């Protein structure tokens, strides 16, 4: 029995540990990394690249916390990146000494989520707000008021995301409540606002947003700037609301999870994606803004063609909340959907 057990255990170790030298496992936001670039990297370096995708930072964090995910690269947003560093679940891969570091736009280097810039190289940034179907809704969109306190035609035609993260942030911007508030009375106001909005909400869902909005199933959806841009370019009648209260900002970065089986390939990939040429191609594919230096003449989404990416309203980046503040956020969300 014992020997069999040992043999089985050994076999299991080999089964999970037997990664060929040329593998790279990426865990990224759905459809976020240019498949053409992945193929190019794969050919140039003789590496087999596997890409899995997630649709929320929470999913990513949970997966990495559970340990030995087998991923070599992940792409969390800034506030989750900070948590991952603090929790010691991502590697210090000496990012600040890479060529990629030199290619980060100066204003985006060494931000609060990674002061030494040893754990991450950014890949994209953007905003979240509400997007309307312009065939169905012709009214004003210059304030979150029309989204959180809808009147008339928007009633019953609104959808939010299935996670509290950016949605609560937008509600806080509208109410003037600071992000990560630990004040119960302030967060109660957020709950009251969302409760009053709920009868007008059709769905709380992060899946299938493009078709739900384009088909007119809903007329306003909480969404991201680049996705809205992509949908508009594909012919959907959508428009990102430039709300005077501001937009919720995010920035995603490449990180290397602890215990990544193909760390060298991961670093190679980060370097590859961060060259001027490839960063430009990636930006054009993803349709979000790039924190990297890019070849300006080759950028497709310019201020004229893609106003979504160049908002003139203030942007407030999501922050890493204390446990107490996070509890309040969860409590608001659970009570909203109870």
Partner 1 sequence: MTESALPTTAETERRPRTRFWHDLAFWGLLPSRLLMGFALILPIFIIAAVSVATRGAYGGFTWDFNLAGYTQILFNEGWTGELEFTPQYLLIIIRTFLLAGATTLICLAFAVPVAYFISRQPPGRKAILVYLVTLPFWVSMILRVYAWMIILGKDGTLPNLLEILGFQPGMSFMFNDGATLTAMVYTAMPLMVLPVFASIEKLDGTLIEASHDLYGNRWVTLRRVILPLTAPGITAGAILVFVPALGAVLEPTLMGGGKQMMMGSLIQLQFGGGRNWPFGAAIAMTLMALVMIFLIATALRAARREAMS
Residue 46 CB neighbour total at 10 angstroms: 8
Which two structure tokens, joined as six digits, stand for 263?
């760390």
User: Residue 50 interacts with partner 1 (CB under 8 A)?
Assistant: no
Q: Are strands 220-224 and 158-160 parallel, antiparallel or unpaired?
A: parallel
Q: What is the C-alpha to C-alpha distance for residues 49 and 9, in angstroms, rounded to an integer?
A: 28
Nearer CB in complex with partner 1: 201/267: 201
The SS3 of residue 58 is: helix
In whole angstroms, how close is the CB of 16 to partner 1 at the nearest point?
14
Residue 259 CB neighbour total at 10 angstroms: 15
Which segment (42-50, 127-135, 270-278, 329-337) binds partner 1 by CB under 8 A?
329-337
Nearer CB in complex with partner 1: 276/324: 324
In whole angstroms, how close is the CB of 124 to partner 1 at the nearest point?
22
Binding mask 211-250 for partner 1 (x = CB under 8 A): ----xxx---------------------------------
Which segment (28-36, 207-215, 249-257, 293-301) binds partner 1 by CB under 8 A?
207-215
User: Residue 19 interacts with partner 1 (CB under 8 A)?
Assistant: no
Nearer CB in complex with partner 1: 44/207: 207
Q: Residue 226 contacts by C-beta under 8 Å, 6 or more apart in sequence?
A: 124, 126, 286, 287, 288, 289, 308, 309
What's the burial of 244, exposed, middle or buried (CB within 10 Å: 0-12/13-18/19+)? Answer: middle
In whole angstroms, how close is the CB of 61 to partner 1 at the nearest point?
6
Are the CB atoms for 158 and 213 separated by under 8 Å?
A: no
Are the CB atoms for 73 and 254 separated by under 8 Å?
A: yes
Nearer CB in complex with partner 1: 98/218: 218
Question: What residues between 77 and 106 interact with partner 1 by CB under 8 A?
Answer: 83, 86-87
Concatenated DSSP letters of 132-175? EETTT--S--SSTHHHHS--GGGTT-EEE-SSHHHHHHHHHHHH
Among 145, 188, 244, 319, the residue binding partner 1 under the rule CB under 8 A is 188
User: Residue 337 interacts with partner 1 (CB under 8 A)?
Assistant: yes
Question: What residues between 146 and 185 interact with partner 1 by CB under 8 A?
Answer: 159, 162-165, 184-185
In whole angstroms, how close is the CB of 4 to partner 1 at the nearest point?
7
User: Residue 322 interacts with partner 1 (CB under 8 A)?
Assistant: yes
User: Residue 331 interacts with partner 1 (CB under 8 A)?
Assistant: yes
Which segment (59-67, 96-104, 258-266, 306-314) binds partner 1 by CB under 8 A?
59-67
Dihedral of the alpha carbons of 79, 81, 83, 86, in degrees to the nearest 10: -140
Are the CB atoms for 108 and 291 separated by under 8 Å?
A: yes
User: Residue 9 interacts with partner 1 (CB under 8 A)?
Assistant: no
Q: What is the C-alpha to C-alpha distance for residues 165 and 161, in angstroms, rounded to an integer?
A: 9
Residues that bind partner 1 (CB under 8 A): 4, 8, 56, 58-59, 61-62, 65, 83, 86-87, 159, 162-165, 184-185, 188, 198, 201-205, 207-208, 215-217, 322-323, 326, 329-331, 333-335, 337-338
């Amino acid at each position: 029995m014992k020997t069999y057990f040992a043999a089985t255990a050994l076999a299991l170790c080999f089964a999970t540990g037997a990664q060929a030298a040329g593998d790279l496992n990426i865990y990224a936001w759905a459809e976020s990394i240019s498949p053409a670039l992945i193929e190019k990297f794969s050919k140039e370096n003789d590496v087999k690249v596997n890409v899995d995708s997630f649709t929320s930072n929470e999913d990513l964090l949970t997966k990495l916390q559970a340990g030995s995910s087998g991923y070599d690269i992940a792409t969390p947003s800034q506030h989750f990146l900070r948590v991952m560093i603090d929790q010691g679940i991502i590697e210090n891969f000496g990012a600040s000494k890479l060529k990629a570091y030199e290619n980060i736009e100066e204003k985006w280097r060494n931000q609060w989520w990674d002061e030494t810039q040893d754990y991450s190289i950014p890949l994209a940034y953007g905003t979240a707000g509400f997007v309307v179907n312009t065939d169905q809704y012709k009214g004003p969109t210059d304030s979150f008021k029309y989204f959180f306190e809808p009147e008339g035609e928007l009633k019953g035609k609104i959808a939010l995301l299935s996670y509290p993260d950016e949605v609560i942030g937008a509600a806080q911007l509208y109410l003037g409540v600071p992000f990560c508030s630990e004040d119960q009375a302030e967060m109660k106001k957020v709950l009251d606002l969302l409760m009053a909005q709920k009868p007008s909400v059709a769905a709380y869902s992060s899946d299938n947003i493009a078709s739900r909005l384009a088909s007119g199933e809903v007329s306003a959806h909480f969404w991201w700037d680049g996705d809205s841009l992509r949908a508009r370019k594909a012919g959907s009648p959508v428009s990102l609301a430039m709300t005077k209260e501001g937009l919720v900002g995010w920035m995603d970065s490449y990180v290397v999870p602890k215990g990544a089986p193909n760390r060298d390939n991961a670093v190679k990939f980060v370097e590859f994606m961060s060259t001027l040429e490839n960063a430009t191609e990636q930006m054009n594919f993803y349709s979000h803004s790039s924190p990297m230096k890019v070849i300006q003449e080759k950028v497709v989404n310019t201020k004229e063609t893609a106003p979504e990416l160049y908002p003139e309203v203030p942007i407030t980046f999501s922050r890493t909340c204390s446990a107490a503040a996070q509890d309040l956020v969860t409590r608001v969300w659970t009570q909203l959907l109870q």
